[in-house]
Structure formats: structure tokens, C-alpha cells
């Protein structure tokens, strides 16, 4: 009877967690939520989840009821250094739920007197997987608990498998949304090209043709003004279409930027060092940043030429866009002065890169981006 009751409780726990995972679309939220539910239904006290990327870099993605010793300095003990469970994971020695793992982070906390450990010394550790794909680790602990029986490990392994499947589903969903956005951009670009772009072109030709039908100076002046405005609007429209759908990005980000420079009427000198196929998310990021930098050159530099240098070396890409135009007074310690430049910096830092501006009045501007070349990961 006791065994049957225990089995019912396990099934109830799995049902509660499965329902939570099936309804989730945001990874960070769902990991926090499912970890809390797991702690509640198992009667254990503490848990944390590490997500580990293909380069074996780990991130503390969720935690619940950590002891004070591991919370200090914004949870720094959980976010830095190595530990035995992650070492086993990296070495491929952790394929199933593992029992009686003493915690190196807790041992360090005791050794260096970081604070109260809540009598936690060991934890169970379970890999998060979906098929052959691995995503990280689930760790569960309780005060004075140094052993997890087979039933507990089986339950934790079932939950870990559900979490792994949910991670894969959410990432696939995010990728599908990304592709939908790209498809919508392409559709909008086509519509603008086929409608507004053609109307502006017709307006420019009409103004030009009408000038041949009159000799009135005021009428000629107005028609010339209309022709100039329509030409300017046409150039702006072509640039907007390029922003939505950069033709040539399939040939590489440098090729796309060179073509965009032509659309803006800029003369671009370029240099590239190193050859590598950049991941799509990095190419798109560099394209958007380069696009904004060339727009700034066109609008503010007072020059019609720019230089683009691009180098790929040691799994790192560096992009520099330079002009010898007006420049502006700026020091690295100052707040970035424009929304466009802030957006460039945010895009760079979102991919763990470094963004730098060098500019002086009358001495031009250099925009420099440096970022690691990594596969696209969504945590």
C-alpha cells in the first residue's frame, strides 16, 4: 500500500511538472518555475540548473533556496570556477542521474567561510538531455542528505528528460519566430519595392517630362524641386528596402555592406583578413551595426567615402568602419550621445562583444566591433 501511494505521488509530481513545461514559451521563466515545483513535490529543499553550451561554458539559469554561502556577491560562487559535476559532464562521464556527489562549491564555502551552508554537503546531479543533445545539469540537495535512492533518482531523471525536451522545443520555437520575422521583412521589402518605390520613380519621371512642356521660370523651378524631392525620397526608400532585406548578405556581410555603401552613394575602401563562414546571427548583427555606421557617415560626416576593415582570427571577428569626415567630440568615459550608437553598442554586447568609438572634431570617426565567433545559442 505504501509503495502504491508513493507511486501515485510520483505520477502526480510528473504530471504537475509536465503541465508547467508544456505551457511555457520563455526559457528563463520556465526553468525557475519547474525547479520550484520539483522542490515542492519531492520534499527536498534546494536546487539549481546549469545550462552548458557547446564550448562548455556554463550559466546559472535557475536556482531555488540556495544557502547563504552560495548567494554572496550576486551568487558569484555559483557563477565562477569549476566543480566536480560540471567536470564529469564535460568529460562525458555523466550520462544518467548520479548519486552522492559531494559539492565542491559547498566545500569551498566552508573552507573560506562564505557563510551558512544550511547543512548541505552533497547533491544529486542529472544531465538535461533530449535524445543525444545535451543542455546542462539539474542539481538537487537537502540538509544532511548524502544519499538518493533509486526511486528518487528515477523521478529526477524523468523530470530532467522533460526539462531537456522543453528546452529543445522552446529553442525550436524561438528559431521559427526568428524565421517568421525574416519572412515578414522580405515581404514588406518586396511590397515597398513593387508599390511605393515604383510610384516615386514614376513621380520623378513625370516631373522631368513635364519640364519639357513649359518655359515658365516659376513652373520650371517648382518641377525641378519636385524632381529633386522625388529623387531624394527614392534614395531613402531604396536604403529602407536594403535595411529590411539586404541583397548580397548571402555572399557575406562585407559584400552586403559594400553594396549598401553604393546605395547610399558612398565610395567604400575595404580590407578583409581571415576566411570563415560566420554564423547567421553574427552576420546579421554585424550587418545591422555596419548599416547604422554607414548611415551616420552619409548623414553627418560631410564626406562621401569610408573604409571597412574586417578580420577573423582565433575564433574572433573584428569589424572597423572609418571615415575622415567631421567627427565629433567624444571620450570613452562619456555617455554615448545618440540612440543609433547606443543601439550598435547594445547589439554588440548582446553577443558578448566589445563596442568602441574613436572620434574627434575634424578628425573623423572609427567604429570598432569585436566579438567571439560562436554558434547561435538561446538561453
Residue 368: pLDDT band (50, 70, 90) is very high
16 contacts 103 by C-beta, under 8 angstroms:
no
Please give the residue that has the higher pLDDT: either 98 or 191: 98
Q: Is the pLDDT of residue 62 over 80?
A: yes
Name the nearest CA neighbour of 223 among 235, 234, 208.
208
Q: What percent of the chain has pLDDT over 90?
A: 15
Residue 125, Cα to own-chain centre: how many angstroms? Answer: 28
Q: Is the pLDDT of residue 192 over 80?
A: no
- Candidate ranges 10-14, 186-190, 214-218; pick with highest mean pLDDT: 214-218
pLDDT tens string 77-91: 888 888 888 888 888
State the average pLDDT for the chain: 82
| Rounded Cα distance, 58 and 51, in Å | 6
264-379 sits in which CATH class?
alpha beta
- Candidate ranges 86-90, 174-178, 333-337, 338-342; pick with highest mean pLDDT: 86-90
Secondary structure element (H or E) that encloses residue 254, with its range: helix 253-264
| Rounded Cα distance, 277 and 165, in Å | 29
Name the nearest CA neighbour of 35 among 127, 146, 156, 130.
156
Please give the residue that has the higher pLDDT: either 101 or 217: 217
Q: Is the pLDDT of residue 72 over 90?
A: no
R_g over Cα of the chain: 29
pLDDT tens string 276-335: 678 877 888 898 899 889 988 888 888 889 999 999 888 889 999 999 988 887 776 666
Cβ neighbours, 10 Å, residue 43: 10
DSSP state, residue 77:
H
Q: Would the pTM count as exceeding 0.75?
A: no
Please give the residue that has the higher pLDDT: either 234 or 312: 312
State the pLDDT at residue 10. 59
State the pLDDT at residue 298. 87
State the pLDDT at residue 281. 79
What angle separates helix 339-350 from helix 280-300, to the nearest 10 degrees? 160
Please give the residue that has the higher pLDDT: either 27 or 347: 347
Residue 379: pLDDT band (50, 70, 90) is very low
Q: Which residues contact 97 (CB under 8 A, 6 or more apart)?
A: 124, 125, 126, 148, 153, 154, 156, 157, 160
DSSP state, residue 336:
P
State the pLDDT at residue 86. 87
44-57 in b/e burial notation, b at 16+ Cβ within 10 A? bbbbbbbbbeeeee
State the pLDDT at residue 235. 77
Q: Is the pLDDT of residue 115 over 50?
A: yes
131 contacts 143 by C-beta, under 8 angstroms:
no
State the pLDDT at residue 366. 92
Q: Which residues contact 372 (CB under 8 A, 6 or more apart)?
A: 315, 316, 351, 352, 353
State the pLDDT at residue 100. 64
Residue 367: pLDDT band (50, 70, 90) is very high
Secondary structure element (H or E) that encloses residue 102, with its range: strand 98-102
State the pLDDT at residue 245. 61
Could you give the residue range(s) of every CATH 3.30.450.40 domain in the chain?
2-175
Name the nearest CA neighbour of 225 among 213, 237, 210.
210
Q: Any idea what the Cα angle at residue 27 is, between residues 152 and 138, rounded to 5°?
A: 25
State the pLDDT at residue 321. 94
Of 39-43, 45-49, 214-218, 342-346, least confident by mean pLDDT is 39-43
Cβ neighbours, 10 Å, residue 241: 21
pLDDT tens string 122-161: 899 999 988 888 899 999 999 988 888 888 888 888 888 8
CATH topology of domain 2-175: Beta-Lactamase (3.30.450)
State the pLDDT at residue 143. 92
Amino acid at each position: 500500500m505504501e509503495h502504491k501511494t508513493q507511486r501515485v505521488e510520483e505520477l502526480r509530481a510528473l504530471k504537475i511538472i509536465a503541465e508547467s513545461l508544456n505551457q511555457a514559451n520563455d526559457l528563463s521563466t520556465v526553468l525557475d518555475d519547474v525547479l520550484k515545483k520539483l522542490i515542492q513535490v519531492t520534499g527536498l529543499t534546494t536546487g539549481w540548473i546549469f545550462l552548458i553550451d557547446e564550448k562548455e561554458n556554463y550559466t546559472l539559469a535557475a536556482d531555488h533556496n540556495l544557502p547563504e554561502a552560495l548567494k554572496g556577491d550576486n551568487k558569484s560562487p555559483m557563477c565562477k570556477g569549476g566543480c566536480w559535476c560540471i567536470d564529469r559532464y564535460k568529460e562525458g562521464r555523466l550520462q544518467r542521474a548520479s548519486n552522492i556527489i559531494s559539492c565542491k562549491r559547498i566545500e569551498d564555502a566552508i573552507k573560506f567561510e562564505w557563510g551558512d551552508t544550511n547543512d548541505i554537503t552533497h547533491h544529486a546531479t542529472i544531465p538535461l538531455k533530449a535524445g543525444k543533445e545535451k543542455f546542462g545539469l539539474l542539481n538537487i540537495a537537502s540538509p544532511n542528505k548524502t544519499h538518493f535512492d533509486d526511486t528518487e533518482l528515477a523521478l529526477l531523471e524523468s523530470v530532467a528528460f522533460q526539462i531537456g525536451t522543453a528546452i529543445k522545443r522552446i529553442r525550436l520555437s524561438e528559431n521559427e519566430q526568428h524565421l517568421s520575422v525574416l519572412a515578414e521583412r522580405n515581404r514588406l521589402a518586396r511590397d515597398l519595392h513593387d508599390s511605393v518605390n515604383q510610384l516615386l520613380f514614376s513621380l520623378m519621371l513625370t516631373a522631368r517630362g513635364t519640364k519639357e512642356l513649359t518655359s515658365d521660370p516659376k513652373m520650371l523651378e517648382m518641377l525641378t524641386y519636385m524632381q529633386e524631392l522625388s529623387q531624394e525620397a527614392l534614395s531613402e526608400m531604396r536604403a529602407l528596402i536594403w535595411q529590411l532585406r539586404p541583397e548580397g548578405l548571402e555572399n557575406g556581410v562585407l559584400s552586403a555592406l559594400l553594396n549598401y555603401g553604393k546605395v547610399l552613394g558612398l565610395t567604400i575602401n575595404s580590407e578583409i583578413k581571415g576566411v570563415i563562414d560566420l554564423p547567421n546571427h553574427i552576420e546579421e548583427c554585424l550587418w545591422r551595426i555596419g548599416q547604422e555606421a554607414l548611415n551616420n557617415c552619409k548623414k553627418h560626416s560631410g564626406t562621401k567615402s569610408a573604409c571597412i576593415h574586417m578580420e577573423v582570427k582565433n575564433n574572433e571577428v573584428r569589424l572597423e568602419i572609418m571615415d575622415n569626415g567631421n567627427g565629433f567630440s567624444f571620450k570613452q568615459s562619456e555617455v554615448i550621445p545618440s540612440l543609433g550608437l547606443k543601439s550598435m553598442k547594445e547589439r554588440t554586447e548582446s553577443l558578448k562583444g566589445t563596442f568602441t568609438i574613436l572620434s574627434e572634431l575634424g578628425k573623423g570617426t572609427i567604429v570598432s566591433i569585436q566579438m567571439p565567433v560562436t554558434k547561435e545559442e538561446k538561453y
